[in-house]
Structure 1
Amino acid sequence: MVRRTTHPGLLSRRRILQALAALPLGCGARIDTPPGEQDVGWRALEPTQTLTRIAFGSCCDQRRSQPIWRTINARNPELFLFIGDNVYADAEHESRLQAAYDELGGSDGFNALRRNTPVMAVWDDHDFGRNDAGSEYPLREASQRIMLDFFGEPAESVRRTRPGIYDAKIIGPVGRRVQIILLDCRYFRDPLLPGGAGPSRFRPNDDPAATVLGAAQWDWLEQVVREPAELRLMVSSFQLVSAEHPFESWGLFPRERDRLFDLISRTAGVIVLSGDRHRGELSRIDQPPLSYPLSELTSSSLNLPLPGSEPNRWRIGAQVEDANFGWIEIDWSRERVQLALLTDTGRVALEERVELAALAV
């Protein structure tokens, strides 16, 4: 656990800001603590807790207003997954990476979340450090250290001792276990190939040696999915199922995509969570090699949504073009999962139910 300390001379100012934050405000209002003046710890994750309410989101521009935290906090999630573009750093110097996280750390809405809700996080490109970057990014080691420092990763964590920030945890008792799998789709990913057809800037890399996850992470993933769990939430910072749009997805590495589909086909209970696209949607694919219908819930963006439709033959329902977050409710007694996207005002924009029995192999 990490607890930020405050200089004694700043204490009264911080208390004033906290008191102001408790006053009724419009949904777009923002009263933030200046970077470096936070006194906020991280809520610990209890591994034996039965999870029933999980929120997740991506693409949070720390320079913009973030009213969505108020809506998320009001729903009292038991876990929040921050799944990429958690800040926009796009940095060529370590100081800019650090400054981006410091600015997020000045958001009172986000600080209220991390005081009350355990947070698990993985990055995408803009918080990794450069748009569409992979293993070629020169600051990846520094970025890993800065990211783990900000999110309070314990000094003894394996994420501190190996390249990449991939992680997995199982939460809950036998019969109600949720496995959270955070894939690192940046640290080891080969550079994208330029020169795509049509509107795409990139073309698929069909080289058998081309990788998204890298050898070590693949070996790790093959092991962790063998651990028993009733539900597995597999986080990929960019989309796995949808591969028709001209932007980054697993479709740019078709052999890696097929390999992950094959692994999922042998692994019960998987639902994929993704972000990146600045719009939300639910995708479902049911074709070989998959052994059951695979659902992917994409939530993006927390505060920087973009209009416009993208092709996706696997989409269920309509795209969500408002600022949104993902919401997962687990009904263990009925053995079902409710997937939803909610807007920053709390409106349910998309909703779909998945029976756990339908995720068997």
Structure 2
Amino acid sequence: MRVAFTSCFSAQSFKQQPVWDQIGAANPEHLLLLGDSAYYDADGSSISMVKAMDPDPFARHAMRRLRDQLNQPQFAKLVRRKGLHIHPIWDDHNFLWNGACGAQVFEERLHAHLIPPTRAAFQAYRDALDAHEPATFPQPSDPWRSDIKEPGYRMIDIGNAANPVRLHLTDGRSYKTAGGKDAVLGAAQMNALASAIATSSEDTVHLVASGLVFEANHGETWMTCEAEHAKMLELARNRRILILSGDVHENRFAVPQPAGKWSLFEATSSGAALRTGVTIGALQCNWGLLELTPENVVIELSQLHMPPRKRVIDRRTWKLIPGP
């Protein structure tokens, strides 16, 4: 089984997006889009502009940005590929704005009127990806639905009896508190994730899709929420967990975190089609690929003008196999 993953891309300034051709050539069965499929607050817009919008103008703004991405030719070609399952989650820039936290927005009530249209835009994006057809995305004259719930947590079994793999799609924005100190996922979502992991067979590989990086001591990270960070490490004591994260506009492997007899692993791929500072800095074409067999999990991270970097995890011991 092959699972590709990446995050952070913008159709506004990046009309050519070769990353999708590269991913298509790898022929994955699944593609994880780990947040920031559009930038509502950058690339010709700003945080202040978004905060000043009423619901209808914001809905049109968000829908237009997602529609532009769906119609980007290389992305559209990949979306239309039958047999490829695309799983998006959202992060701050295609939720509201940089660093936006759902719990804080609701508590302050200043911009809570933007929550219904952003949910509607993201759901329409998910629907178009599920349909394998960008043309199903709402047109500018179409009304947006005001009754859409938050994406929340979803679990999908994507493996089989010989190669059990469970995918966990998280929502790191709807329940996140300011700075993430009290919550990244929130209690209900964290409990659902924990239950889905704990009730699986011991040989299942758990892929946790996260907009935020797990191991980082600066920026937005799970480490700011000690309780949820500790809970993930506790779950990893008895289950095989690999976190796939985005957000930071670079590819990187985290140092495996000891969790009892096993370790918790993390691979980050961010910057599919933008620059390090969205529109300034070095051009990015970053993505990752997992090859999951009953014996190993092979992780490759690819980026512009550099050979892929590889890590191999032995599924039996859940330890890294030393490379050359």
Q: TM-score, normalised by structure 1?
A: 0.69
1:85 maps to amino acid: D
Q: 1:74 to 1:285 in 2, by over 3 A?
A: closer
Q: CA deviation at 1:222?
A: 2.1
Q: Deviations over 1:295-317 (max 9, x none)?
A: 1100011012429xxxxxxxxxx
Do residues 230 (structure 1) and 204 (structure 2) align?
yes
1:259 maps to what in 2?
Answer: 231
| Aligned-partner SS, 2:80 | helix
Q: CA deviation at 1:219?
A: 2.2
2:264 maps to what in 1?
Answer: 294
Picking from 78, 82, 89, the partner of 1:122 is 89
Picking from 169, 193, 197, the partner of 1:221 is 193
Q: Give percent identity, aligned residues only.
A: 25
Measured in 1, the distance between the counterparts of 2:188 and 2:293 equals 35
Q: Does the CA-based 8 Å contact 1:140-1:187 persist in structure 2?
A: no
| Aligned-partner SS, 1:81 | strand
1:283 maps to amino acid: A
1:95-106 aligned within 5 A:
95-106=60-71
2:2 maps to what in 1?
Answer: 53
Number of corresponding residues: 271
Q: Deviations over 1:107-135 (max 9, x none)?
A: 11111111112101101110111111111
Q: 1:218 to 1:286 in 2, by over 3 A?
A: closer
| Aligned-partner SS, 2:232 | helix
Do residues 269 (structure 1) and 240 (structure 2) align?
yes
Q: CA deviation at 1:104?
A: 0.4
Picking from 296, 306, 330, the partner of 2:276 is 306
Measured in 1, the distance between the counterparts of 2:283 and 2:17 equals 16
Q: Deviations over 1:227-275 (max 9, x none)?
A: 336211111111102x223x11112222221122222223x12111001
Measured in 1, the distance between the counterparts of 2:225 and 2:116 equals 24
Structure 1 runs (4+) greater than 6 angstroms displaced: none
Q: 1:161 to 1:221 in 2, by over 3 A?
A: farther
| Aligned-partner SS, 1:176 | coil
Q: Does the CA-based 8 Å contact 1:270-1:359 persist in structure 2?
A: no
Q: Deviations over 1:80-127 (max 9, x none)?
A: 000111111134422211111011011111111111121011011101
Measured in 1, the distance between the counterparts of 2:210 and 2:310 equals 20
Q: CA deviation at 1:322?
A: 4.5
* Structure number with larger C-alpha Rg: 1
Q: Does the CA-based 8 Å contact 1:94-1:142 persist in structure 2?
A: yes
2:135 maps to what in 1?
Answer: none
Q: CA deviation at 1:172?
A: 2.6
Gaps of 5+ in 2: 42-49, 52-57, 106-111, 132-146, 320-324
Gaps of 5+ in 1: 1-51, 193-203, 308-319
Picking from 283, 293, 300, the partner of 1:340 is 300
Could you say which structure has the greater relative contact order, defined with CA pairs below 8 angstroms and 6 or more residues apart? 2
State the Cα RMSD in Å: 2.4
Q: TM-score, normalised by structure 2?
A: 0.77
2:233 maps to amino acid: F
Q: 1:344 to 1:71 in 2, by over 3 A?
A: farther
Measured in 2, the distance between the counterparts of 1:358 and 1:177 equals 16
Measured in 2, the distance between the counterparts of 1:129 and 1:123 equals 10
| Aligned-partner SS, 1:218 | helix
Q: Does the CA-based 8 Å contact 2:18-2:285 persist in structure 1?
A: no
Measured in 2, the distance between the counterparts of 1:291 and 1:305 equals 40
